[in-house]
């Protein structure tokens, strides 16, 4: 099997220490994490981790199973780039004098899908989003004009074939009710017996 890029989507309860335990799972297997993002999900109090690695599918399956064993983790998905819609945000800080003198800024904005976020006398900050190859092209373009600083965000991704995790969570709760649900069922049955 050949290494390729995989994106993990992990839904979990928002608990202290889980991020470290997940990172340790990758570290113990000597897997380099290319991108790591944690954000709120569509469900209140449930976090969504997006992690990008280069590995074989066999290794990815094992890692997914190991992550799912964590108590707070509700579900782990892994996908290839063809199975997700993804973006990264990049920001570029350049000398305002250099960029104004030597580059047609409007052309730059149109050609690379960038927009000016801050324009000051001493510097201008541009923002662009897209795949890594797209944001790297803008680095190459701006470098000769005094690229002062560059930063790129972690990946955010949505699974193409997903109907939403909240539906899966409902199915899970119906199939395996938690202690409170079981206790409520028991109490309801007891009330029925006493009301007869």
- Are the CB atoms for 90 and 129 separated by under 8 Å? yes
Helix axes 57-68, 18-28, angle to 10 degrees: 150
pLDDT of residue 155: 95
| Record: fold of 85-152 | Alpha-Beta Plaits (3.30.70)
pLDDT of residue 182: 47
> Rounded to the nearest 10 degrees, how much is the dihedral formed by the CA atoms of 104, 110, 111, 112?
110
4-84+158-178 classified as CATH 3.30.70.260: yes
Q: Which of 107, 156, 93, 106 is nearest to 129 (CA)?
A: 156
pLDDT of residue 45: 85
- pLDDT truncated to tens, each residue of the chain (196 aa)? 799 999 999 999 988 889 999 999 999 999 999 999 999 988 888 899 999 999 999 999 999 999 999 989 999 999 999 999 999 999 999 988 877 766 666 677 778 888 889 989 999 899 999 999 999 988 888 888 788 999 999 999 999 987 766 676 666 656 655 555 444 444 444 455 454 4
pLDDT of residue 175: 63
pLDDT of residue 90: 96
Rounded to whole angstroms, how far apart are CA atoms 22 and 20? 5
Rounded to whole angstroms, how far apart are CA atoms 5 and 171? 30
Q: Which of 81, 9, 7, 100 is nearest to 46 (CA)?
A: 9
Domain boundaries, the chain: 4-84+158-178, 85-152
pLDDT of residue 173: 58
């Amino acid at each position: 099997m050949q290494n390729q890029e995989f994106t993990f989507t992990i839904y979990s309860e928002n608990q202290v220490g889980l991020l470290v335990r997940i990172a340790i799972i990758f570290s113990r297997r000597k897997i380099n994490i290319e991108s790591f993002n944690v954000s709120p999900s569509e469900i209140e109090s449930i976090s969504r981790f997006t992690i990008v690695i280069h590995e074989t599918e066999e290794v990815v399956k094992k890692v997914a199973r190991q992550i799912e064993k964590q108590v707070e983790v509700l579900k782990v998905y892994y996908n290839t780039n063809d199975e997700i819609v993804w973006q990264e945000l990049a920001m570029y800080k350049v000398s305002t004098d250099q960029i104004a003198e030597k580059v047609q800024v409007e052309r730059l904005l149109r050609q690379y899908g960038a927009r000016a976020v801050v324009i000051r006398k001493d510097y201008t900050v541009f923002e662009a989003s897209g795949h890594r190859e797209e944001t790297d092209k803008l680095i190459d373009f701006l470098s000769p004009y005094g690229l002062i600083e560059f930063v790129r965000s972690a990946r955010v991704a949505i699974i193409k074939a997903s109907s939403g995790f909240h539906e899966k969570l409902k199915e899970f709760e119906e199939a395996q009710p938690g202690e409170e649900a079981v206790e409520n069922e028991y109490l309801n049955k007891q009330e029925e017996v006493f009301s007869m």
